Structures are given as structure tokens and as C-alpha cells.
């Protein structure tokens, strides 16, 4: 199996701001398993793996979107990466200028450029972030933070769920920090229960370097109905997330997946397994044909994170309360594309006492 040592040893003179060893860590061979490729991608934070042959020549790239599409197709983690990679990867020669690379990335709508020598051997990797620096994203974020927190009583008798501590700080702070670190600057909090306590604690978001506005529900409108309180239609896709979800997801990857799919709406989904506690009997004509002992059934379930294109707001119910599944069903009934983004990062829904205790044990250590 090829590793980083299988490619050319030259450095990339164009990879300003990047660590040379980091790109070498994501160079893999075509028989590398999908599971190992995922581990390499996650460890490097480059969100891409570059696939080369025995001579170190580029044969494909594997982006986060390629990985998630492979998972949705049912490709196993032990399958070879060449079954999931993009064989038509765009690359650049070592002589290209910064402006040429930026123009190529924008034209192709890509964030990574393998750098090749005259013999097509990989000698480096240019990233969009290294070329232009940290990006401030124009996308709005809406956090649904108005729930009663009934399952966390009596803790929520005195304070709303977003202010319950996780890792030594209120849960809402951990969520806001995550969005701020990833370049999101305009955040709406949809509030109802003990709204003034949330306003008083969070304020205008200045301490996180973000702008926070409040959508105050006069009565409970559901996880989608509160979006009607936005003063104007958004110009870019909006991320909507339940205010009790803690996750290490890359929201940039989520947005790119949504746009690559040309979706009107995207729902983040996660694996959920349910085991039947008995032997399941298969009958045919009244006769037992097989007995399956305690089978496990796997499902994809809603993770409480969504991306909505501006068009999706046309399908919000006009007046009555509505939840996100209602909105998605309306979009599907209209014949529009609703995509599923399979989650593989850390995620927890802090809805019950045991989940709150688990989040306090895990949240700080879940950061890669």
C-alpha cells in the first residue's frame, strides 16, 4: 500500500501557509481502504485525500463529499478507495502563479489543487484557505433555542436548556464558538421559554466575534415555523440547527455538499441501530423457514441539522406551527430535491439527563 513516501520528495513552492508534512499525510494508494482514507482526512483537517499510483502519479482525489456519497451508496469502510475517488481531478503544474490557481479554483468550484511535476508526479497540494486566508461566510445560522427542556427537568425549571453547563460553560456558548471558529458571523437565536435569560447571557454576540439577532416566538411555532420570523428572505443557503445539538461537523463540508447536490434542502442524517430482543421467526405457508436470533436493524435518522436554500422558504406553512419534517415533506411533494448528508463526526442530542452527563464527559475530548 502506498503512503506519503510513495510520492515525489519535492516540496510545493506554491503552498504558502501550509505544512508540507500535512499534505503528505493524505497521499494514499488506490487500494487503501475507505476507512483508512477517512482517518487520514480527519487527522489532517485538509478534508481531502490524494490518490497516486506506484510511480507517485496522480490518479484521483477523495473529498469529504466523495466519502459521504460512497457511504450513501452503501460502500463499506473496508472497500478500496478507488471505488469512491474522483478520477477526473483538476491539478496544476508547479509553475502556476497564485492568480492562475485562484482563477482555476473559482472556475471549477474546488478547494484543493494537487501540484504536479512535468512527469505528472505529485509534489504538493494547494488549498483555497492557504491562498486567501480564513473566510467569513455569508450564510446565516438559525439556532432553535426555544424549547421547554421537559426531559431535563428539574434542571430546566430554573434556566433554559441552552444555558445548562457542558464542559464548564453553557451549552449555547459551545455551539456559538463552533460556528464562530468556522467563519460564520450572522447568527439568529429563535427563543421562547425563558427568552430573557438567554438574551441577557448571550447578548449581541460581540465576545465571540459574531452578530446575534433574536427571533422571539410569541407562541411555540415548531422547529420550522420560527423561520417565518426572519425579517427578509435570505440570499444564501441557511444552516438551521436545534439548540441542544453538540457536534464537530464541518459546516463548510455540509454547505458544499448541499450546493454540489443542487438541493433545495439538505438534512443531516445519522446511523441508528435497533435490536429486536427476541428471535424473529420467518414463516412460509404456516411453516417455520428460519429463525433469526435478535436481529439488528439499521436506519438513517434525523440529526437536527439542516441547510435550506432561499427557495426552501417558499414551502414554509403560512401561519400554523410546523416542524422541519413538515417542511421537508412539502419540498418533496413539490418534486424538489431534498438531500441527505450522512454524519460521521461527533454528535450528541442533549435532550435527556443521561445525554447531558455524557456530553459533560465527552465534549472537550471530542475535538480532534
CATH number reported for the structural domain that contains residue 281 in this entry? 3.90.550.10
Query: What pTM was computed for the model?
Result: 0.75
pLDDT at 166: 93
Q: Which residues contact 105 (CB under 8 A, 6 or more apart)?
A: 111, 113, 128, 131
Same domain membership, residue 283 and residue 203: yes
Least reliable range by pLDDT among 131-145, 263-277, 344-358:
131-145
Mean pLDDT score, 184-199: 94
Mean pLDDT score, 154-183: 91
Domain boundary among 132, 153, 176: 132
Same domain membership, residue 98 and residue 232: no
pLDDT tens digits, residue range 78-99?
Answer: 999 999 999 998 999 888 888 8
Confidence at 218, pLDDT banded by 50, 70, 90: confident
Mean pLDDT score, 197-222: 92
42: DSSP letter? H
Same domain membership, residue 255 and residue 222: yes
Same domain membership, residue 155 and residue 103: no
Cβ distance 13 to 39 under 8 Å? Answer: no
Same domain membership, residue 266 and residue 150: yes
Domain boundary among 79, 101, 132: 132
Using the predicted structure, report yes or no on whether residue 143 has a pLDDT greater than 90: yes
Cα separation, 131 vs 17, in Å, equals 8
Same domain membership, residue 116 and residue 184: no
Mean pLDDT score, 170-196: 93
Same domain membership, residue 181 and residue 37: no
Using the predicted structure, report yes or no on whether residue 259 has a pLDDT greater than 60: yes
Cα separation, 282 vs 306, in Å, equals 39
Range of the domain at 298: 141-366
Domain boundary among 132, 154, 170: 132
Same domain membership, residue 334 and residue 295: yes
Q: What is the CATH number of the domain that holds 98?
A: 3.10.580.10
Alpha helices, DSSP H only, in 187-240? 195-202, 222-225
Confidence at 335, pLDDT banded by 50, 70, 90: very high
Mean pLDDT score, 216-241: 92
Residue, of 101 and 20, whose pLDDT is higher: 101
Closest CA to 122 of 266, 241, 20: 20
Same domain membership, residue 42 and residue 152: no
Query: How many domains are there within the chain?
Result: 2
Residue 308: in which H helix or E strand, if any?
strand 296-308
pLDDT at 134: 61
Mean pLDDT score, 54-66: 91
Cα separation, 296 vs 39, in Å, equals 26
Q: Is 197 exposed, middle or buried (0-12, 13-18, 19+ CB in 10 A)?
A: middle
Same domain membership, residue 50 and residue 91: yes
pLDDT at 7: 34
Same domain membership, residue 123 and residue 159: no
For the annotated catalytic residues, the residue numbers are 294
pLDDT at 12: 34
Same domain membership, residue 41 and residue 9: yes
Amino acid at each position: 500500500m502506498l503512503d506519503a513516501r510513495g510520492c515525489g520528495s519535492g516540496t510545493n513552492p506554491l503552498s504558502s501557509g501550509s505544512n508540507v508534512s500535512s499534505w503528505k499525510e493524505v497521499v494514499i494508494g488506490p487500494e487503501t481502504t475507505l476507512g483508512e482514507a477517512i482517518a487520514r482526512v480527519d487527522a489532517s483537517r485538509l478534508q481531502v485525500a490524494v490518490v497516486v499510483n506506484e510511480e507517485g502519479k496522480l490518479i484521483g482525489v477523495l473529498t469529504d463529499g466523495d466519502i459521504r456519497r460512497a457511504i450513501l451508496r452503501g460502500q463499506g469502510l473496508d472497500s478500496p478507495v478507488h471505488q469512491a475517488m474522483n478520477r477526473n481531478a483538476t491539478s496544476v503544474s508547479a509553475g502556476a502563479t497564485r492568480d492562475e490557481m485562484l482563477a482555476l479554483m473559482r472556475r471549477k468550484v474546488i478547494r484543493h489543487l494537487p501540484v504536479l511535476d512535468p512527469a505528472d508526479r505529485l509534489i504538493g497540494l494547494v488549498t483555497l484557505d492557504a491562498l486567501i486566508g480564513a473566510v467569513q461566510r455569508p450564510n446565516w445560522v438559525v439556532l432553535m433555542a426555544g424549547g421547554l427542556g421537559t426531559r431535563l427537568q428539574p434542571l430546566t425549571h430554573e434556566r433554559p436548556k441552552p444555558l445548562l453547563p457542558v464542559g464548564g460553560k453553557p451549552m449555547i456558548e459551545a455551539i456559538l464558538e463552533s460556528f464562530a471558529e468556522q467563519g460564520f458571523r450572522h447568527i439568529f437565536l429563535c427563543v421562547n421559554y425563558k427568552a430573557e435569560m438567554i438574551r441577557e447571557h448571550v447578548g449581541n454576540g460581540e465576545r465571540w466575534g459574531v452578530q446575534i439577532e433574536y427571533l422571539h416566538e410569541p407562541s411555540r411555532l415548531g422547529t420550522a415555523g420560527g423561520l417565518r420570523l426572519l425579517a427578509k428572505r435570505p440570499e444564501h443557503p441557511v444552516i438551521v440547527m436545534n439548540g441542544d445539538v453538540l457536534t464537530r461537523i464541518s459546516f463548510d463540508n455540509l454547505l458544499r455538499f448541499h450546493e454540489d447536490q443542487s438541493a433545495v434542502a439538505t438534512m443531516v442524517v445519522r446511523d441508528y441501530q435497533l435490536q429486536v430482543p427476541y428471535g424473529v421467526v420467518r414463516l412460509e405457508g404456516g411453516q417455520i423457514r428460519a429463525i433469526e436470533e435478535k436481529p439488528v436493524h439499521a436506519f438513517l435518522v434525523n440529526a437536527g441539522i439542516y441547510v435550506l436554500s432561499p427557495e426552501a422558504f417558499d414551502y414554509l406553512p403560512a401561519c400554523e406551527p410546523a416542524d422541519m419534517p413538515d417542511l421537508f415533506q412539502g419540498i418533496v411533494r413539490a418534486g424538489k430535491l431534498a438531500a441527505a448528508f450522512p454524519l460521521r463526526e461527533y454528535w450528541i442530542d442533549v435532550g435527556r439527563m443521561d445525554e447531558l452527563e455524557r456530553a459533560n464527559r465527552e465534549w472537550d475530548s471530542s475535538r480532534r
